[in-house]
Amino acid sequence: MLRLTAGQVSDYRGADPVLDALPKAAVLIADKGYDSDRLREALAERGIKSCIPGRAKRKEPIIYDTELYKSRNLIERLFGRLKDCRRIATRYDRCAHTFFSAICIAVTVSFWL
């Protein structure tokens, strides 16, 4: 099931509904927006190691693999390419399935070119 959250929802709260749909993985790499103890615990329960840096205001610093975190750059570049497509950046489509279809087409075209 495809789920979209409102733009003002924080990243870690938006991750909660999709945890059950995560594919089997060894590590989840995410940015500081996903820094929450609850998310880290949920990932650990599923046997997934988290590579998420802690927020600046966190009292106890989080230890994470900085070299592995650098590979997140590939994902950020993909999102940058997707946002080049105005339809996706501004989310013209009202229905989630139509929006997801537009994303699939944009990804296919960007890798094809």
Output the DSSP codes for 20-31: GGPPP-SEEE--
Asked if 62 and 86 sit in the same domain, the reply is: no
Asked if 37 and 77 sit in the same domain, the reply is: no
Asked if 30 and 54 sit in the same domain, the reply is: yes
Asked if 56 and 77 sit in the same domain, the reply is: no
> What pLDDT shows up at residue 77?
85
**Domain span at 43:** 1-68
**Who's near 83: CB < 8 A, 6+ residues apart?**
89
Asked if 17 and 35 sit in the same domain, the reply is: yes
* Average pLDDT score over residue span 44-53: 92
Is 65 in contact with 51 (CB distance < 8 Å)? yes
Q: Outline where DSSP puts E strands in 13-84.
A: 27-29, 49-51
Of the chain, the percentage scoring pLDDT greater than 70 comes to: 87
Asked if 52 and 64 sit in the same domain, the reply is: yes
Say what the pTM is: 0.68
Asked if 58 and 105 sit in the same domain, the reply is: no
Closest CA to 39 of 24, 56, 51: 51
Name the domain count of the chain: 2
Asked if 75 and 56 sit in the same domain, the reply is: no
Q: How far apart are CA 2 and CA 88, in angstroms?
A: 16
pLDDT band at 109 (very low <50, low <70, confident <90, very high): confident
